[in-house]
Structure 1
Amino acid sequence: MVEQASNPVCSTGESEADLMSVDARPTDTTVLVVDHTAAGRFALGTVLRRAGHQVVAVGTGHEALAELDVRLRKGGLPDVALVDVELPDMSGFELRRRLKARPHMAGVPVVHFSAVGAEPGDPGDPAEAPDAGGDARLTLPASPGEIDAVVRAAVRAARLRADDQAAARRLTLLSEAIVAIQSARSPQELADAAAEGAARLTGAPAAVFVLGPDDELYRGAPRSRTSLALPDADAHRAVVTLLRRLTHGQAGVRITTASAPLWPAGFFRPGMQHDARLVLIPTQDGRGAVCVATPTRGVRRVDPERESLLARLAQATALAAEPLLMYWAERHVALTLQHSFLPQPHRLPELPGVDVVVRYVPASHETEIGGDFCAALRAGEGVLVAVGDVVGHSLEAATVMVEIRHALRAYCVDESDPAVLAERLDRMLQLYHRGVSATVCLVLLDPGTGRARVANAGHIPPLIVRDGRSADYVKAAGPLLGLGLPHPPPTELFLEPADRLLMVTDGLIETRGTDLAVSMEQLRAAATGAMPGLDALCDTLLSCFGHDREDDVAMLALRLTDQDLS
């Protein structure tokens, strides 16, 4: 018989044969035993080793924390800690509190043990530390089978908790990725957001491809990868061919593996060849496709949960891709239309007595196309210049812009009064585009005298820049086009030979959250300090205000040619 005095672990009446009969099932479990007695450490270690566990034994709380620090640095924390509640330097409950306070150790389950007969008020009494209980409680002496069962149950419960936490984290990452995907405002931004989400979900390199109707390919990479060398155009063409073949006639998600000879090198790591696990889904109209690609080298088996998450990520990406691809196709048409009708420097008409410079900067790629325009035309014996903006951002706005510009060209053949022209444009919008409004500023200039007549329909008024002296806005205002309201007579002024007249659309200076009057004053101050010359004026203002604008920018600057000030 094994007595309690000689064996504090095993129950009275346990035989050595009973102790030896513990089921020594193979296990990868490591148990940290914290017991203040050498006999206890030996006995518990013997039982646990014979049950198939690996054992690390220490005698104090501080030794336990030091051992955990060492194992954490080596990447091998124990699976469970079997802790005596009566330690010489701290209670077992205090040791657990300290362990759980360390984020990287908090997942280690703690099984407290104590001897039979612990009195209330003893350091081992759980009532003394109600907030510091363990993942399990063991009273000694106990049978070897009971000790093994408690340890295995604590490890199993901890692993289930860890699995649940990992699953919850993956779902959180998926939700965050889908929010970023739904917030994307361009196919490229969409591909990058999806690639970042895939990389975070898998903890591995990832690449996402959004394929458009005309085989335009947007390749997304995680932020950590974008600064590295990317595959060349041949590799992208190979991906287009492969994606078209794999998604032809497909409905729904398809998951397959592309072997290294078929999958170009460098998409996951620079210059490195990998097989690729592909999650493919066509857009609903069947004209585009989305592919989420991850490397398979070193992956021995397929993880169904991981592939399910990537499939859901691909589905969200495909749903967002179709309207974005349609919009960007429309945007390309609108930009082409707008650019084809804006006055280009090499296509400006001959305007005797006047130098004219125009600038047009489209909005950043994440925003919609607008209806900004400018024009420089002959009108009788003078010169008519105009800058305007159709309200709204769409292909319709760009189309109406073209109609206004053509109508202005036609009207000024036999009419040059800017107020009359504004009224005619107003009636045209009411007749053919009811509900559409626009702003426009018209200036009729007589180069011989410098006389200028200004009609302003809801637009930023022209700015007269007097080199080295000042800059002031022309006091001209009136209602928007398309409202059917009467327009006031033109405002008259005279330009001096050194004066520069500047006309801009509000896209140059308008900033969300900033009063337009404040922005106009900033523009006036910047123009006052610009170097002489029309190009210098425009370049200075674009440098100050023209970066990452949310709206298109149209700008026209002119001066009389009596003096050569360039």
Structure 2
Amino acid sequence: MNFMAERAERADQTNTTILVVDDAAASRCALGAVLRRAGHRVVPVATAGEALSELDVRLRAGALPDVALVDVGLPDMSGFELCRRLKALPLMASLPVVHFSAASVAPSDRCRGLDAGGEAYLTVPAEPEEIQAVVRAAVRGARMRSGAENRAQDLTLLSETIVPVQTAHSPSALARAAAEGTARLTGGPAAVFVVGEGGAVYCGAHSGRKAERQPDAVAREAVARLVRRVTVTAAEDSVLDTVVPAPLWPPGIFHLRATEDVRMVVTRTRDARAAVCLTVPKPRYGDRAPGTAALVARLAQATAFAAQPLLMYQAERRVALTLQHSFLPKRLPELPGVDVVVRYEPASRETEIGGDFYAALRTGAGVLTAVGDVVGHSLDAATVMVEIRHALRAYCVEEPDPGALARRLDRMLQHYHPEITTTLCLALVDPVTGRTRIANAGHIPPLVVRDGVGAAYVPAAGPLLGLGLERPVPTEIVLEPADRLLMVTDGLIETRGTDLAVSMEQLRVSAEDAPLGTAGLCDSLLDRFGRDREDDIALLALRLTD
């Protein structure tokens, strides 16, 4: 070690507090004098009992000494036993103990001291330099152990906060998870903002025991402007830690006094198209540990890393929903002889993009209705849904028979999208006679609801489209004027952990008790089954008119 490094180490280890436990007053005085000359504070006690009492008081005050110098031959218990008791207490186990003795100087005595948990053993009298060196070594070792333990605790805490961030399923959930993590790291309230392209701002807030009030649109936009201003010249992958003066911070996000500033930790996603901002009240920042700032910076980077794919999904979802809404109009064209009502609900999960669709088309042989679901949740599923719907509209002009349509759509999928499969149910209804032909391709069969009688599924089944398998002959039924034909996608009733047959029976029973009419039937079933679903929902209900 060079002179400057040694000097720095010695300076770092002065102003330490040393507990001296010795029943001999002259010895306590001599040791105290040596240690005070070296810049240490000395707390002298005469017995093991006094030492335990002193340590208990200091532990409650959060100010344990840095080292304990313990005489082996104490009157109430040996120094070895005192050391064992201290090391057995979790909150005192890290206190380094140095045994000393003028009488017990055999190698076996040194071994007993080390076995009891002591860090070193001094034979007194000793030169002041040796005493000071042993104390410095004990302090250095304890601080190194404490530093390693603190770093391990920090890394454990950081990993615990990052896991929910990495598993968040949407930008909003990501912001909430990051706010929870920031609150854990800083020990105070926190709010997190994910600022995407096109003005999209997602936020989450937390304050430990109770959640902060979610920022309103004005507050979110104000924070977004601050973030854009901060990141406009930021280097790629940099983490910016800055303080926003109280007058510039939008009110209502934290319960702050008028003079309290806010600290912002901001970083951008790798594609630089979005930014993540972790915010905490400045007076309450970093009180938990010296490394808090570094931990929050790491959390910000992890949040930005997780935000990029979620925001890409969000953009993809917007495109898919635009496709779905443009090709699935809520108002259908006039269809003579039938009353048709449709309902469509996107998945509640923000990252889910489904391929559910419906259609009601006028043909030369009657009204053709269809409900289907392209397997998968992606923009590809939504685009294939559009292709199937267009193909269905084109094919039914020449041949409206459901069986023939199912075969042609099957071949179309095999030719253009061999990796895609689709469930589809087709029904061709003659409004005059009620004669209905149904072709089912792996879909939930239609449900016929007869007013005052009950509800039953049509026994129609067949393989999914896209597999090239032989298709059965369509099932034929006759609808009475009071009957309602209900067609749904599985997003309405499918629940993880519940057998689909059970869910279908629940749907059948609910349909029996639904209000009269097609609209009442669809709306009551959506209200009963359609809340917080992870998949898109499409319903179509048809009834003959007089």
1:107 pairs with 2:94: yes
For 1:331, give the aligned amino acid. R
Query: Which residue number in structure 1 is paired with residue 406 of structure 2?
Result: 422
Equivalent residue in structure 1 for 2:242, among 244, 253, 257: 257
Distance 1:366 1:231, change over 3 A: closer
Q: Is the 8 A contact 1:266 1:273 kept in 2?
A: no
Distance 1:421 1:398 in 2: 20
Contact 1:85-1:92 within 8 A present in 2 as well? yes
Alignment of 1:364-513 (within 5 A): 364-380=348-364, 382-465=366-449, 471-496=455-480, 499-512=483-496
Give 1:371 deviation, angstroms: 0.2
Alpha-carbon contact 2:425-2:438 (below 8 Å) kept: yes
The letter of the residue matching 1:104 is L
Query: Residues 300 and 205 of structure 1: is their aligned pair in 2 closer, same or farther, counting only changes over 3 Å?
Result: closer
Contact 2:164 2:177 in 1 (8 A): yes
Structure 1's unaligned 5+ residue stretches are: 1-22
- 1:324 equivalent in structure 2: 310
1:74 and 1:475 mapped to 2: Cα distance?
77
Tell me, in whole angstroms, the C-alpha distance in 2 between the residues paired with 1:556 and 1:203: 52
AA in 2 matched with 1:79: D
Identity across matched positions, percent? 67
* Partner residue in 2 for 1:83: 70
Residue pair 2:349, 2:534 contacting (<8 A) in 1 also: no
Residue 438 of structure 1, CA deviation: 1.2
Q: After TM superposition, give the deviation of residue 393 of structure 1 in Å.
A: 1.5
AA of the residue aligned to 2:99: H
Q: Please report the RMSD computed on the Cα atoms of aligned residues, expressed in angstroms.
A: 3.9
C-alpha spacing 1:527/1:42, structure 2 compared with 1 (3 Å): farther
Structure 1 residues 285 and 431, CA gap change in structure 2 (3 angstroms): same
TM-score, structure 2 length as denominator? 0.82
Q: What amino acid maps onto 1:76 in structure 2?
A: A
Give SS of 2:471's match: coil
Aligned equivalents of 1:129 and 1:494: distance in 2? 96
Q: Distance between the aligned counterparts of 1:159 and 1:25, measured in 2?
A: 11
The question of whether the paired residues in 1 share the 8 Å contact of 2:184 and 2:208 is answered with: no
- Structure 2 runs not aligned, ≥5 long: 1-9
Q: C-alpha distance in 1, partners of 2:416/2:338?
A: 34
Contact kept? 1:334, 1:395, Cα under 8 Å:
yes
- For residues 28 and 269 of structure 1, the distance between their equivalents in structure 2, rounded to whole angstroms, comes to 39
Aligned twin of 2:121:
137
Gap change, CA 1:550 and 1:272, over 3 Å in 2: farther
Report the 3-state secondary structure (helix = DSSP H, G, I; strand = E; otherwise coil) of the residue aligned with 1:412. helix
Cα deviation for residue 198 of structure 1 reads 3.9
The structure whose residues are more often helix, as a share, is 2
| 1:138-165 deviations in Å (ceiling 9; x for gaps) | 3344455544443343223212222222
Mapped to 2, the partners of 1:97 and 1:520 lie a distance apart of 68
Q: Assess, with a 3 A threshold, how the Cα gap between structure 1 residues 469 and 25 changes in structure 2: closer, same or farther.
A: closer
CA contact (8 A) 1:343 1:376 kept: no
* Residue in 2 that maps onto 1:16: none
CA shift for structure 1 position 289: 2.5
Distance 1:403 1:25 in 2: 73
Structure 1 residues 204-224: Cα deviation after superposition (integer angstroms, max 9, x where no partner):
544433221212222343473
**CA positional deviation for 1:457:** 0.9
Q: Secondary structure at the match of 2:437?
A: strand
Determine the C-alpha separation between the residues in 2 that align with 1:381 and 1:271. 74
Structure 2 contact 197–274 (Cα < 8 Å) conserved: yes
Say whether the 8 Å CA contact 2:186–2:286 is kept in structure 1: no
Task: Return the offset for 1:389.
Answer: 0.3
Which of 309, 324, 337 aligns to 1:338? It is: 324
Deviation at 1:133, TM superposition (A): 2.0
> Where do residues 156-555 of structure 1 align in structure 2 (5 Å cutoff)?
156-222=140-206, 224=208, 227-252=211-236, 253=238, 255=240, 257-260=242-245, 261-270=247-256, 274-297=260-283, 307-344=293-330, 347-351=331-335, 354-380=338-364, 382-465=366-449, 471-496=455-480, 499-512=483-496, 514-524=498-508, 527=511, 538=522, 541-542=525-526, 545-555=529-539
Q: How far apart are residue 455 of structure 1 and its match?
A: 0.6
Distance in 2 (alpha carbons) for counterparts of 1:175 and 1:230: 26
**With structure 1 as the length reference, what TM-score do the two structures score?**
0.80
Deviation at 1:369, TM superposition (A): 0.2
Deviations 1:7-38 (A, max 9, x none): xxxxxxxxxxxxxxxx9999543333444566
Helix, strand or coil: the match of 2:68?
strand
Shift of 1:334: 0.7
Native 8 Å contact 1:343 1:374 kept in 2: no
User: Conserved in 2, the CA contact under 8 Å of 1:407 and 1:425?
Assistant: yes
Paired with 2:455 and 2:476, the residues of 1 have a C-alpha distance of: 17
Counterpart Cα distance in 2 of 1:457 and 1:422? 8
